Amino acid sequence: MIMTQQLENHEAIENRSLEDFLTIEEATTISGYTEQYLRRMSRAGKIEAIKRGHFWLVNRHSLEAYMDRAADVEDKRFGPRAAQE
């Protein structure tokens, strides 16, 4: 059941335009999060991302929503560090 749901989620992500995605390096620059943190958040299902070989593509809207939620949390340990826009 979990595997089926993950497969459906993956297919839904696959069908989106690549214009909706950032490279992991771009996501790092925009968000201020490290590459490792972004990959961990993707694996945990907190942001949408696609892994192709060694490359990660992060969904821009998912990342922005995560950053908005992190900004609203009083515990600032999980907020972005030095985001550059």
- The average pLDDT across 37-56 equals 92
Q: Is 75 left (phi over 0), alpha (psi -120 to 50) or beta?
A: beta
Residue 6 pLDDT class (50, 70, 90 cuts):
very low
**Which pair of tokens denotes residue 26?**
């771009």
| Model pLDDT, residue 16 | 62
- The average pLDDT across 44-66 equals 92
* One-letter amino acid of 64: E
Task: Give the domains, in start order, of the chain with CATH numbers.
Answer: 2-74 (1.10.1660)
Residue 47 burial (C-beta neighbours within 10 Å; 0-12, 13-18, 19+): buried
pTM here?
Answer: 0.68
Residue 7 burial (C-beta neighbours within 10 Å; 0-12, 13-18, 19+): exposed
| Model pLDDT, residue 54 | 87
22: enclosing H helix or E strand: strand 21-23
Mean pLDDT of the chain: 78
